Copies of this chain bind each other. A is one copy, B any other.
């Protein structure tokens, strides 16, 4: 009791008061808050995308890299707009949230749908793991003394975010929205200043790190590899179309506006950053990030530099929140379709899908622990999952247009078809270039998840069919006159709670058997003496149990001849159970009643009656 109360109070403190189901609509977001919460992932990934490209190019092309980096960036921006247009189409056709899961399921069938679902699940979990890890890395590289608490920090960040999201959608968007705007603004300022400094003030930049000599020339494979690495910039772009139901009415319109804003922001920041880093010749290395190099060249070590670093760190952490907004929703969809445990469809006290949130944070924490919060170990798994889901949704939309042949279907089909081709190529490139870096793991997990989900569905179907009731089956008529009911009352000691049970048994049945399982002869002796002294003319049956098993004898007795012979109906077992008021008192009792009930439940023809007997504490 006490504990329960305390827990409730704590819960209220952490999560705020419970919310009515009607409050749901008030929990949704408008454009201003929808942009940051649904796009922080996509926007933050810009922070490392450019660097990823340079990592591929610089060692080989040296100074030439920057030209091709910019080309790669342009291709990625092109791909992004492809995705932008195709996801606009998705939003139009899927007002209730068109994640790759839905799109693939509707147009390509269950298996592709589940594949997309599995891919997305991995994607979301990795978003949390990767982003928080990267954020922590940013912090620890600023304060190296914290380095040894890396995993701990990341884990606590995840837990903090979990609490925030359990509080409910809108509030968390407030909490997590602001940093995104700060990041956009400060990076924007940096880019503009950077360009002005060179073209207006005629500043001549000298790179902090020496640019290595070119060791080779550009080849199509190298370029594609660079492109593939840069594609991490696009992770999280699908979040908006998944999240439509989270928007205020008119949700589709709002979603499309947000998507547009998102695309513009990514274009400006990603394009801008790439361009500026070609101007300032940032060299990727393990000790200082590209952004940090550019920032220090543009601003020097002044306040602006630190603002850039801090906001970068924060938005990376907050990017994880996109997953907290998106994944529980996806899980709810999947489990509504019966492919995941039903619990994920239930809304918590604060109307968030609590179970989904908890699963996500648990899985992410696990990954962080396993991979010791090392971003670079997690990234390869990440990209593959994302682009697999992209591909499936693109294909889905393509098929949709072909099949429906609606207005201007050719144009739409072209857009999605093109998207499908490009994304699938990207998948192949990433898969090929990163296979041994962990991409293979995804190749194992996705199929297994699909199989599990199918198995779950099978179970739910079999349950439903077995429970299905034909409307014409009526409850059987009962002839109360010559109907005979059987009740068994197990006895351990003859006390008030037993008496209460016996009393009840007598109200429902006129042939009762009191049943005692004897594990200790002395005790049984005592009981029998008492029972005989008590004489109420109700027969008592005693069975010995040498192995101290309490339920076996009872069950076998019920099934045995001596009893089953003349019983046709369900047997009622009336079990007294005393209930203590203080929670800690529970550890002082054996809970035999609970145990016995658990075992009896497995018997088809036994009805278990529990008679509570409340014990007060003086």
Whether B536 and A507, one on each chain, are in contact in the complex, defined by CB atoms closer than 8 angstroms, is no
**Cβ contact within 8 Å between B507 and A483:** yes
A553 to chain B minimum Cβ distance, whole angstroms, is 14
Which chain B positions have C-beta within 8 A of A301?
none
With A341-B588, A342-B589, A577-B601: A548-B21 Cβ-Cβ less than 8 Å: yes
Question: Are A462 and B615 in contact, with the CB atoms below 8 A?
Answer: yes
Q: A153 → chain B, closest Cβ, in Å?
A: 24
A590 CB–B CB distance under 8 Å: yes
Within 8 A of B (CB), among A22-70: 22
Smallest CB gap from A474: residue in B: B536
A549 to chain B, nearest CB (A): 9
Q: How many residues of A contact B (CB 8 A)?
A: 85
A493 vs B547: C-alpha distance in the bound complex, in angstroms? Answer: 42
A606 to B500, CA, bound (A): 12
State whether the Cβ of A174 lies closer than 8 Å to any Cβ in chain B: no
Task: Mark interface residues in A485-521 (1 if CB within 8 Å of B CB, else 0).
Answer: 1000000011111110011101110100000000110
Q: Are A459 and B507 in contact (CB under 8 A)?
A: no
Task: Report if A569-B608 is in contact (Cβ < 8 Å); known contacts: A579-B601, A587-B341.
Answer: no
Against B, the Cβ 8 Å flags (1 = close, 0 = not) of A574-618 are 000111101001011110000001001111101111111111111
Q: Determine the distance from Cα of A163 to Cα of B595 in the docked complex, in whole angstroms.
A: 24
Query: Copy number in this complex?
Result: 2
Write out the residue numbers on chain B whose beta carbons fall within 8 Å of the beta carbon of A471: 530, 533-534
B462 touches A618 (CB 8 A): yes
Report yes or no: A456 in contact with B588, Cβ–Cβ below 8 A: yes
Shortest C-beta distance, A532 to chain B (Å), equals 11
Q: Which residues of B contact A504 (CB under 8 A)?
A: 570, 607
Check A349 against B614 for contact (C-beta < 8 Å). no
- Among B342, B476, B580, B616, contact of A590 (Cβ-Cβ < 8 Å): B342
Give Cα distance in the complex from A519 to B222, angstroms.
Answer: 58
CB of A59, distance to nearest CB on chain B (Å): 38
Residue interface bits A532-567, CB-to-B below 8 A is 1, else 0: 011010000000001110000000000000000000
* A 123-167 contacts with B by CB, 8 A: none
Known: A22-B546, A475-B499. 5 other contacts (CB 8 A): A21-B519, A342-B590, A469-B496, A471-B533, A601-B610
CB pairs A–B below 8 angstroms (29 shown)? A18-B547, A19-B547, A21-B519, A21-B547, A21-B548, A22-B546, A341-B587, A342-B588, A342-B589, A342-B590, A349-B547, A458-B618, A459-B588, A462-B617, A467-B496, A467-B615, A471-B534, A473-B499, A476-B503, A478-B506, A507-B569, A507-B570, A579-B602, A600-B612, A601-B610, A602-B612, A603-B612, A606-B612, A607-B610
